[in-house]
Structure 1
Amino acid sequence: MDRIRIVGGQKLNGVIRISGAKNAALPLMIASLLTNETLTLENIPDLADVGMLLRILGHHGVDHSIDGRRPGAPARASRALHLSARQIVDTTAPYEFVSRMRASFWVIAPLLARMGEAKVSLPGGCAIGTRPVDLLLMVFEKLGAVIEIEAGYVQAKAPKGLSGAEIHFPKVTVGGTHTALMAASLAKGHTVLHNAAREPEIVDVADCLIKMGARIKGAGQSTVEIEGVGSLSGARHVVLPDRIEAGTYAMAVAMAGGDVMLEGASPTLLESAIEAIEKTGAEISATNEGLRVRRNGRGLLPVDIATAPFPGFPTDLQAQFMALMTKAKGSSRITETIFENRFMHVQELVRLGAHIKLDGDAAVVEGVDELQGAPVMATDLRASMSLVIAALAAEGETTVNRVYHLDRGFEHIEEKLGACGAMIERLTDRA
C-alpha cells in the first residue's frame, strides 16, 4: 500500500495547475447515461474515483476513450473523456460498485429517466438518513416513480416515464439537486426545485445538460425550473476548475509560506474560503492566470469558521483549515454543520503535536509553536489532505499512510507540491 513521506520546513514557490473539479466531473460522467450520443468532457482529472466510475458506467454499457492534453492547449484543456451510451445493457448497479463510491448511486436518475427502471444498491457504511439518500428517493417519488427497498437495493420503476413536479427539499442537498436535474430533464412537463443546492458544480452540470438540449432555468439559485424534453443529444463541455483543490493548495501555501500561482483557479468559486485564509495573514490576489497566494515569515492569525452550503465555507475545506489553525497564534473555533463525524482527522493532527479539543459539532484549536513529524493514518479524502498540510510545516519527517484516499480526489499531489519545493515523495511497498 502506498504512503507519502514529507519532510517539513520547506517554503512553496512556483506554479500549481488546478485540475478539473471532481465534484462536477463525476455527475457529468453519470449524465452520459441520459443520451445515446457521445458526451465529451474536457479537463477531466486523473483520479481514482474517475477510473472507478468509468468501470461502473462500462457495466451499464457506456463506451469511453480518453485523449491527453493537446500540445499548446491552455491549462484548462487537460484530458478529454469521450463517453457513449448508445445502448444501456444493464439497469442494475451492484453493491460491489456503489459501496466503493457513494456518488455512483446517482446513476439511478438517468437510468430511471431513460429506461423507465433502475435497481441500485444502497451505499454502504451509513444509515439511509445519515446522508440524504432519502431525499434522492423523495425526488423520484415526486416525479412519479414507484420505489421499493428490498435486500439492500432500491428498485425504482416508471414504465410510462417520469412526470414533472414541485419538489421542496427540506434541507439543501447537492446529491438531491444533481439527480433531480438529470431525472427532470427527461420527465414529461414542468419541474420546480425549491431550496436547491447552489454549488458551482450544480451550475456546471446544468450548463452541460443545457448543451445537451435540456431546458433548465435558475441553476445556482435556490429555485430551479426544468422543462422536460423527449431526448437529449451529445455535447462537448469543459469541466470547471476544482475550487476544493484550489482552496487546499492556498492553505498549504499559507501554512508553509512562500509564493505560488494557482493556475486556472477562479476567485468567484472560493470567496468565503479566500476571506478566511486572508484573515490568517496570507495574501491572495486574482490575476489573469488564476490566484496568487503569498505568505512571508509572519505568524498565522486565528480565525473562526463554520461550514455552510455554498456560498458559505465549504465542508470539504474544513479539515484543511483546521490543519492551518494548528499553528495560529491563538485559539480558533471550527464548527461543522454539514456532516456528522467529520472530525476524524483530529486525533491524527494531535499525533503531530496539535492541541485540539472537540465540543459537540465544533473543534477548538489552540495554536502551537511547532508541530513534530510522525507516522499518521488518513481516514478519508479531506482528512488526508489536512495531514499533508500539517506535515509541510512540521519539524522532521511525516509519513501519511492510506494515501489511496488522496488519490480519490487530488491529482498528482506529490508532483504538484514537489515542483514548488516541498520535500515529498510516494513510497510504494513491494510485495
Structure 2
Amino acid sequence: MSRILTVRGGVPLKGRVLVRGAKNLVPKAMVAALLGNAPSTLRNVPELKDVEVVTSLLQIHGVTVVKDPVTGDLTMDPANAKTASSSEINTHAGDSRIPILLCGPLIHSIGHAFIPDLGGCKIGDRPIDYHLDVLRKFGAVVDKTGTGILISAPTGLKGTKISLPYPSVGATEQVLLSATRAEGITELSGAATEPEIIDLIAILQKMGAIISVQTDRTIRIEGVKELGGYVHTALPDRNESASWASAALVTGGDIYVEGASQRDMMTFVNTFRKIGGGMDIHDDGIRFYHPGGDLKPLVLETDVHPGFMTDWQQPLVVALTQAQGVSIVHETVYENRFGFTEALTRMGANIQLHRECLGSVPCRFGQRNFIHSAVISGSTPLRGTTIDIPDLRGGFSHMIAALAAEGTSTVTGIDIISRGYERFTAKLEGLGADFDVHDSKQALVKG
C-alpha cells in the first residue's frame, strides 16, 4: 500500500545522518557475485528497495543470499545457479532496470538470460539499446518475446572492441560484467569512469579479473576462464550525501553526514561553497550547514564524472530558488530531468525552462527540442502544496522543498524515494522534521 506524507514546513533540519553503501554500486556488486565459483561477501549494504529486488532475482536463479542480522553484510553463494522462469523474473523485477545487468553473468554461469520489460525513473529515454548492442558484440543472440527478451550465447561470449557514443554508466557496467569471463580481450572506449565504476572494477579484480583503465576513457579487460569470490566494503553513497547537504541549505539547517567522502564529491564541494554553503570536512564525514546570510546564484552544468553529477542537480535546484539573483542550470546527461520543477513553481519558485543549451558548450540535446535548461530567479518563499513524486532524486527534492515551505504539504508517491534513500523518513524524524506518514487509506502509520 502506498504511503502519503503530511509535511509541516519551516523547521530547519539539524542533527546527524549515516550514509552507507552507494545505490549505484551495491546492486551491481551483488550481480557480480554470479560470476564467481565461490561465495562473495559485500559490506556496508544499505536497506534499499533495489537491494531487495536484486536479492530476490539472485535467489530465484539459485544463488544463496544470507544477510548478517547484526552488520547487514550480504554473503552470496552462486554454486547452485539455475534458470528462473520468465514469470518469476517478472514478479521479482517489478519496475527495476537491474535485470539487464544480470545477462552477462547469467550467460557465463547457465548459458542464457531472460529480462522482462524494464521500468525505472521517468527522467529520460534511458534505452536498453546500448546494453543489447554490447551483448551482441560479445556474440550473444538476442530474441524478443511477448514478455521480454531472451539472450543466449551458444558458443560463449567472445572478447571484442566496443566504442560507446556516450559514456553510459549502465553500458560500461554491462561490458565489465560480460567481458571478465569472455574468451579473449575486450577493449572499451568512451567508457564511464564514475567512482562506482572504479569500485566495481576493484571488486572484479578481487575476484581475479584482469582490468586496466586508461587515461582516455578506455578500459581493457583480459578474459579469464573463472573467477573466485570477493570480500568488499562498498563505497559510500555520494548522491545521498549531496542530497542531505542540499537539505541543510534549503531548510537553513545543519547536518553532519557520516560516511560522506570528500574524495568522491570534490565537484559538489566546490559548488556548495560557491553558493554560500558552510561545511567542515572530517575523515568520517562532512558537516553541511547554512551559515546565515544570502545564498549566491551560479551557473551550473551537469556532466559525466568528474563533472557535476546529474543526480546532484535536482536537490541543488531547490537551494537555488533561495539564492539572491539569477541561476542557470544546463542538464546534459538526461533529457527530461526538469519535470520536477512544475511542483516547485506551484510552491512559489520562479523557474523558466528552455530548449536551448544555456551552458558553455552546446550538448547532445541541443536542436533536438528537449527542455534541458533552467533559469531560476530568487530568492522566492516556498508555500506548501500537494505533490506527487515523479522520480527518485526529484522526489527527495520535493521533500526538502516541502520541509522548507511555509504551511503544510501533502506528498504522495514517497515509496519511490526508498529506492535510493535508506530509512529516509526515520532520518528526517531524527533531524527534527515535522511530518506524519499515512497509508493511502489515511490510517496514521507514524509521525
Residue 39 (structure 2) pairs with residue 38 (structure 1) = yes
Per-residue CA distance 1:37-67 (angstroms, 9 max, x = gap): 2111111110112112212222211221211
> 1:146 is matched with which residue?
141
Distance 1:352 1:294 in 2: 23
Please point out which of 200, 210, 213 is paired with 2:205.
Answer: 210
> 1:132 offset after TM fit, Å?
4.0
Matches within 5 A, 1:31-430: 31-70=32-71, 79-90=72-83, 94-98=89-93, 100-124=95-119, 130-151=125-146, 153-218=148-213, 222-360=217-355, 361-429=372-440
Structure 1 residues 42 and 318: alpha-carbon distance in aligned structure 2, compared to 1, 3 A threshold: same
Structure 1 residues 146 and 238: alpha-carbon distance in aligned structure 2, compared to 1, 3 A threshold: same
3-state secondary structure, aligned to 2:40: strand
Conserved? CA contact 2:121–2:390, under 8 Å:
no
Question: In structure 2, what residue type is equivalent to 1:209?
Answer: L
Q: TM-score, normalised by structure 2?
A: 0.89
Distance 1:125 1:236 in 2: 29
Conserved? CA contact 2:173–2:197, under 8 Å:
yes
Structure 1 residues 296 and 178: alpha-carbon distance in aligned structure 2, compared to 1, 3 A threshold: same
> 1:297 offset after TM fit, Å?
2.2
CA RMSD of aligned residues (A): 2.1
Per-residue CA distance 1:136-173 (angstroms, 9 max, x = gap): 12211222222233435333222221111111111111
Conserved? CA contact 1:142–1:165, under 8 Å:
yes
Conserved? CA contact 1:64–1:83, under 8 Å:
yes
> 1:245 offset after TM fit, Å?
0.2
> 1:424 offset after TM fit, Å?
3.5
Structure 1 residues 377 and 180: alpha-carbon distance in aligned structure 2, compared to 1, 3 A threshold: same
Question: In structure 1, what residue type is equivalent to 2:250?
Answer: M
Structure 1 residues 365 and 323: alpha-carbon distance in aligned structure 2, compared to 1, 3 A threshold: same
Distance 1:5 1:271 in 2: 35
> 2:361 is matched with which residue?
none
> 1:73 is matched with which residue?
none
Question: In structure 2, what residue type is equivalent to 1:402?
Answer: G
3-state secondary structure, aligned to 2:24: helix
> 1:91 offset after TM fit, Å?
5.3
3-state secondary structure, aligned to 1:296: coil
Please, which runs of 5 or more residues in structure 1 have no aligned partner? 71-78
> 1:422 offset after TM fit, Å?
2.4
> 1:11 offset after TM fit, Å?
2.1
3-state secondary structure, aligned to 1:327: coil
> 1:306 offset after TM fit, Å?
1.6
Which deviates the most, 111-120 or 42-51?
111-120
Distance 2:120 2:251 in 1: 35
Conserved? CA contact 1:203–1:219, under 8 Å:
no
Distance 2:8 2:70 in 1: 32
> 1:183 offset after TM fit, Å?
0.7
Aligned length: 422
Conserved? CA contact 1:305–1:334, under 8 Å:
yes
Per-residue CA distance 1:51-89 (angstroms, 9 max, x = gap): 12212222211221211444xxxxxxxx20111221222
Which deviates the most, 117-126 or 192-201?
117-126
> 1:12 offset after TM fit, Å?
2.6
Distance 1:395 1:245 in 2: 25
Conserved? CA contact 1:112–1:157, under 8 Å:
yes
Distance 2:216 2:439 in 1: 45
3-state secondary structure, aligned to 1:383: helix
Conserved? CA contact 1:266–1:291, under 8 Å:
yes
3-state secondary structure, aligned to 1:308: coil
Distance 1:415 1:97 in 2: 26
Conserved? CA contact 1:44–1:80, under 8 Å:
yes
> 1:428 offset after TM fit, Å?
3.1
Conserved? CA contact 1:105–1:122, under 8 Å:
no
Question: In structure 2, what residue type is equivalent to 1:114?
Answer: S
> 1:415 offset after TM fit, Å?
1.9
Which deviates the most, 388-397 or 375-384?
388-397
Which deviates the most, 362-371 or 206-215?
362-371
Q: TM-score, normalised by structure 1?
A: 0.92
> 1:92 offset after TM fit, Å?
5.5
